[in-house]
Amino acid sequence: MSVRVGYAVDEEFAMPLAVSLRSLADHATARDEPVVTVVTTGLRDETVALIRQSCPELAPEFVTVTDPSPPGLDHWHPLAHLRLRLPELVTGDGPLIYLDADTVVQDDLAALRDVALGGRTLAALRDPVDPPLPPARREALGLAPDSPFLNDSVLVIDPVAWRAHDVANRVVDLARTGDRVTAEEALNLVLADDWVPLAPGWNVYHMLVGMAAVARRLGLDSPVPADYLAAEPRIVHYAGDDKPWLASSARAPFSALFYACLDRTAWAGWRPVRSA
């Protein structure tokens, strides 16, 4: 049975995508072969060739969307809208795994594909940051103070439910009614109780691991939940601004993992150059 995986990228995320795909291929099995769809804002032919060279086992399909940004949402990154449209652009009705390109896979994704949704539209990590949004922002959005908040970087989607519930259009419409509402905030509002939490290991934020390490060195209480830190990383997520491919954060947690994977792609040997 295949494992369907989707990404949304632009030229800026081409190299991280190659790393993520390489890691996906490295942990796949012949019995559960990945079928990959990459939705893009348009990649150069030479970029696509480098990505394919990095993961010849996967033969990803590239789908270009020429008008990625919905009107009235100029504050959204175009990739946010591509992520929402992915379940409508792929064929088939089986479970669809969405991964941000700033992820490195460390396990066979067949287990993620098989996560029980229990009739819900998707599975996602409950954001381990407490609280993930300031109280004033929650109140402005109409989110209850204690309601869980999903992170939209690793998702297991039921595409049939997604399409039937018109999730993408509802998220866009809701975001237009608020004050610079992000795609992730709108997705939380639209789905509300229509999602199930993933085990923490499926979306391990490198920055939170780093924060916890700093707290330990300083003898402070960790700001990160213990069960999250105890999880074996099955997908490492380079969340936030400290990406390992940036010179300013090339030594961030799990950077060695990223570069070990990078050196097995068409970008082998590349390293960021710190400006003088």
CATH code of residue 7: 3.90.550.10
Nearest to 100 by CA among 80, 85, 120: 80
Tell me, yes or no, whether 39 lies in a domain.
yes
Interval 21-31 mean pLDDT: 95
Q: What is the pLDDT of residue 63?
A: 97
Tell me, yes or no, whether 79 lies in a domain.
yes
Which residues lie below 8 Å from residue 189, measured CB to CB, with a gap of 6+? 141, 142, 143, 174, 181
Total domain count, the chain: 1
Lowest-pLDDT choice from 16-20, 66-70, 120-124, 245-249: 66-70
Tell me, yes or no, whether 109 lies in a domain.
yes
Tell me, yes or no, whether 179 lies in a domain.
yes
Interval 22-32 mean pLDDT: 94
Distance (Å, rounded) from C-alpha 65 to C-alpha 205?
Answer: 29
- Model confidence at 130, in pLDDT bands (50, 70, 90)? low
The H or E element that residue 45 is part of is helix 45-54
* Residues 169-226 pLDDT 10s: 999 999 998 788 999 999 999 999 999 999 999 999 887 766 656 556 666 676 667 7
Is pLDDT above 70 for 107? Answer: yes
Q: Is the Cβ–Cβ distance between 233 and 257 less than 8 Å?
A: no
Q: What is the pLDDT of residue 71?
A: 84
CA angle at 128 for the pair 127 and 129, rounded to the nearest 5°: 95
Tell me, yes or no, whether 30 lies in a domain.
yes
Tell me, yes or no, whether 244 lies in a domain.
no
Residue found by looking up tokens 């074996």 in the block: 232
Domain membership of residue 21 as a residue range: 3-199
Tell me, yes or no, whether 23 lies in a domain.
yes
Tell me, yes or no, whether 113 lies in a domain.
yes
Q: What are phi and psi of 98, to 5 degrees?
A: -105, 135
Query: For all residues of the chain together, what is the average pLDDT?
Result: 90
